[in-house]
Amino acid sequence: MNSRIKTIIRGLFWFGIFCGSGGVMVAAAGFLYLSPKLPSAESYRHVQLETPLRIFTADNRLIDEIGIRRDPIPYEQIPPMMINAVIASEDPRFYSHSGVDIRGLLRGFYGFVRGINLGGGSTITMQLANNISFDSDSVYSRKLKEIPFAFRIQRELSKEEIITLYLNLIYFGSGADGINAAAYAYYGKPIWELELPQFAMLTSVLPCPTPCNPIADPARATQRRNVVLTKMYDEDMITRAEYEQAINTPDNARRHNRRIEVSAPYVAEMVRQELYSQFGEDIYRKGFDVRTSIHSDKQAVANQALSNGLEEYYDKRHGYRGPQRHIEVAADADARSTWLQALEGEQLLGNQHPAVVSSVAEREIEALLQDGSTVTVTWQGLSWAAPFIDRGRAWPRPERASDIVQTGDLVRLKQAADGSWSLGQIPDLQGAIVSVSPDNGDILALVGGYDFALSQVNRAITPRPPGSGFKPFVYGAALEQGYTPASIINDAAFARGDYRPRNFENNFAGPITLRTALTNSRNIPAVRLYEQLGSDVVLPFAKRFGIETDHFPRVDLTVALGSQDVPPIQMAGAFATIANGGQKVTPTLIKQIRTLDGLVPLPVQSVACGKHCESIAFNEMPAEQVVDARVAYVLGSMLRSVIEEGSGRRVGREIPRKDLMGKTGTTNGPTELWFTGFNRDVATSVFIGFDQPQPLGESEQGATVPVPIWIDYMKAVLEGTPERMMERPEGLVDRLVNKQTGRSARPDQANTMFELFMEENDPTQTAAAPVPAPRNAPETEDEEPTIEIIF
């Protein structure tokens, strides 16, 4: 019997040796098979340096962060208590095992067989291995690779490097990869400013980051946090007093948006699209940091100028379209709770806060805001709200608050700088503002609409007809062809077939100078002049300034009146080229791109350096002189007359500077309104219109909405800066002429002015030149010559 037992034992022994050897051989073979497929140390040692796309202003303030939130930090900046919390919860034997905890694996397997939860067997190193690679593998394949990879990581990295890499890579929910990004996402602070209860809360999120985080399920998250604290206490990582204090500390996690310092979402999207076209998906994970040309102070002013202008200068003047909706309260429900619940789904748009009217008095109302506070709106903030009838009518004027709203209405409120509130509404009108530096084309500020959350269409780069804003390029082409501001053009009835242009005032001024015609934005003279010059002269001239004219029709006289689409960004760039004396600058947004591999080369930027090009930087080149500097200067002086005497007079009244020039634009309907203006430092274009073109109202024109928006922006931007005029080039002379006839005048004569002439056109030195016949004019036309060149 004893012999038989010994034989069995001997057989079992050798069977065990055989199985063990086989297992070792299988494991060795598996390791040798998988080892070449495992990432090398260099491929993951620096993974923590990867960051999402970050976009900054010129003064290094964050505009946006696109992609998974990741803000890697070195080991020295990770609080020891945070490390302890993770180790206690995820891997108590972290410092003693060699990357794989055999005891933990066996315990997890035993629990799986018994159907009880005895904890997982994955160590921190194994979790790190899984996070670094194998994303496309099946779950079983990943598990097989985790173990040898964990051994390799343990062999090639120190424990400090492993825990640092782990905490910088692991997902914490709420779009945050890494511990520091998670600290900002939940608590709005860097990780080193948090305390024990928050460390435990962040650790508790790791096993189920989406459903278990403190924003998604606060009660469940608090229970899980307390489990982590218990584990820390059991591992002697915290004292009893620390444990009890942390357990009894309420959690204050809430959703924190990315640390955006400057609101410029249209800029961010322009940058993203440009980079994506070049680098694809890499922009979201390879640490792209982009510095733009945006000035944070100018951007903030532009944001406010456009949103406030759309509300105050147009939307309110056209009447109140009523509340968003009415909130019905059930008979057995609490009104306040019902209203607050309704407000949860609303968001701040532009300046417009969502609110529910909670009471209505004779001439004031009270309204409940999203934060639960109640504000009062007096009659001063209500009296504007005559009911909207159509774009031209809003009536009758309200006499009491109940004429406007009733209790339970969901409305919009706007808060003034003095803290007072007024009734508002989200404009259905849209617009854009683009501000460019004439020195190099840098885009200083750009807003593409009322609110990016409302509409992502970027009107700053969307072509729309500029109306009379295109006329300066007709007159500039004429100056280049030898005409002068004193040349006479006939503002009289004009017809070419069925086309009969009209002036805005529906009258005629007779023979007038080109300066007067542009100053008063007379349509018929512009069309006559365009016909006289021809599209083959005007369109190439405009193209040299950066306006894409290739798609413009060649036989359509309405081109002279701005009937063809041009985006505001091109208008700003073209006027910037006038401002710098005719040196072509291209609107530029991206100034620097830095990735994990260093700086990305960018195209050389043109700089309007004039006579001082010896000091330009290595990545700059002198801008091309696309027009005689004298032509640009004379054209600028004509645009100054628009500010002094024409449709831009409001600019002159409200910004009493002598260095401002510009031109309004109004299209048929009117459906689009424009103003583009500049001094030597800043060129800014403002566009206003509906996304689906429709009439804005008969009383609207470029001077009614775009001009005051432009004033609000430029007044703030230029405040405290010295006047900077266009640099006057050589080769110009001033001569006294009669304002009406453009002919030379004597000092004792009335109605005279000093006019600018290029030297070769000096009326005191040259004789009159013949007038070219109008091009493409039908033989049936019987009109007097329309242009007289005064020399």
Catalytic positions: 90, 468
Tokens of 215: 């924003």
Query: How many angstroms separate the Cα of 437 from the Cα of each of 283, 374, 443?
Result: 28, 45, 6
Please give the single-letter amino acid code of residue 111: G
At how many degrees (to 10) do helices 629-645 and 471-480 cross?
140
DSSP 311: I
Residue keyed to tokens 């009104």: 335
Residues 246, 229: contact at Cβ < 8 Å? Answer: yes
Q: What is the DSSP string of 632-667?
A: HHHHHHHHHHHHHHSTTHHHHHHS--SS-EEEEEE-
Residues 494, 637: contact at Cβ < 8 Å? Answer: no
Residues found in the chain: 791
**Spatial separation of the C-alpha atoms in residues 639 and 741, rounded to whole Å:** 20
**Spatial separation of the C-alpha atoms in residues 245 and 268, rounded to whole Å:** 44
Residue keyed to tokens 């190439």: 540
**Spatial separation of the C-alpha atoms in residues 596 and 601, rounded to whole Å:** 14
DSSP 173: S
Kindly report the number of other CB atoms within 10 A of residue 471's CB atom: 28
Kindly report the number of other CB atoms within 10 A of residue 193's CB atom: 11
Kindly report the number of other CB atoms within 10 A of residue 549's CB atom: 20
**Spatial separation of the C-alpha atoms in residues 283 and 280, rounded to whole Å:** 6
Residues 153, 129: contact at Cβ < 8 Å? Answer: yes
Q: Quick one: which of 242, 256, 247, 213 has its CA closest to 227?
A: 247
* Enclosing H/E stretch for 358: strand 353-360
Residues 486, 786: contact at Cβ < 8 Å? Answer: no
DSSP 320: B
Residues 557, 496: contact at Cβ < 8 Å? Answer: yes
